[in-house]
Amino acid sequence: MRILLVEDDVEVARFVKKGLQEAGHTVEQAGNGRDGLFLAASEAFDLLVLDRMLPGGVDGVRIVETLRQQDNRTPVLFLSALSGVDERVRGLKAGGDDYLVKPFAFAELLARCEALGRRPSSEAPVTRLKVADLELDLLSRTVTRAGKKIDVQPREFRLLEHLMRHAGQVVTRTMLLEKVWDYHFDPQTNVIDVHVSRLRQKLDRGFDKPLIHTVRNAGYMIRAEG
């Protein structure tokens, strides 16, 4: 399975990641809630293993609630030092599928992960993204607005896809550099601004309402309303 592990405790993360990889699984890792939510919402995983309490202003429950609101049904296993019944119930009610209290035996964690992975998927993969009258088809790699085809370059398509997967959320320049350009450093150029400007011109030409908005000192957001 391809598993996303979101855990801020370095030792626990190392221990869990190593064990899952030795069991034959592929593991991506995030150390805070904000990065974890971005990865979970923008990439396909078979399972999410989330620490209940996370830094970054976004905890495990918030991640799951946000994903479920976006109709993302990826199975979720919570890891938590919070052992109270109320806490477990809250995590499961938010959309979690299982809850494992720390400290735990790795054999039990692995068994629970593999049990969740065997559950039949209840949803077809997403092949089309839509924001207002803008549609992006992931299979044919086409973009239309109000039925009118818009020609975009491959990099512009990837940029638009990431913005649309996070519709209504701020997407930072750092996120775009990593996910669209595969840069894990800041090249100190205005490459993102240039591409966003070009994409805006293509999407908004002939329409009254702009869709891509600049959020000052933060990044960009695509949303339906002005």
- Of 84, 100, 123, which residue sits at a domain end? 123
Q: Which residues sit opposite 30 in a β-bridge?
A: 6
Lowest mean pLDDT among 86-100, 119-133, 145-159, 174-188: 119-133
- Of 123, 147, 172, which residue sits at a domain end? 123
The verdict on 175 and 194 lying in the same domain is: yes
Model confidence at 6, pLDDT cuts 50, 70, 90, reads very high
Check: CB of residue 211 under 8 Å from CB of residue 132.
yes
State how beta strands 142-145 and 148-150 pair: antiparallel
Q: Which two tokens stand for residue 120?
A: 């039949």
Give the residue-averaged pLDDT of 64-75: 88
Give the residue-averaged pLDDT of 93-112: 90
Model confidence at 91, pLDDT cuts 50, 70, 90, reads confident
Model confidence at 125, pLDDT cuts 50, 70, 90, reads low
Q: Per-residue pLDDT for 14 more than 90?
A: yes
- Of 123, 154, 176, which residue sits at a domain end? 123
Domain that holds residue 97: 2-123
Determine the straight-line distance between the first and last CA of the chain, rounded to whole angstroms: 41
The verdict on 29 and 110 lying in the same domain is: yes
The verdict on 140 and 68 lying in the same domain is: no
Question: What is the rounded average pLDDT for all residues in the chain?
Answer: 88
pLDDT greater at residue 116 or residue 71: 116
Percent of the chain with pLDDT over 90: 50
The verdict on 24 and 101 lying in the same domain is: yes
The verdict on 78 and 118 lying in the same domain is: yes
The verdict on 14 and 118 lying in the same domain is: yes
The verdict on 115 and 6 lying in the same domain is: yes
The verdict on 6 and 89 lying in the same domain is: yes
Spatial separation of the C-alpha atoms in residues 51 and 60, rounded to whole Å: 6
The verdict on 90 and 133 lying in the same domain is: no
**pTM for the predicted model, two decimal places:** 0.55
Q: Per-residue pLDDT for 84 more than 90?
A: no
Q: What is the CATH number of the domain that holds 9?
A: 3.40.50.2300
Q: What is the CATH number of the domain that holds 171?
A: 1.10.10.10
Q: In what order do the strands lie in the sheet with 171-172?
A: 171-172, 219-222, 212-215
Count of domains observed in the chain: 2
The verdict on 59 and 132 lying in the same domain is: no
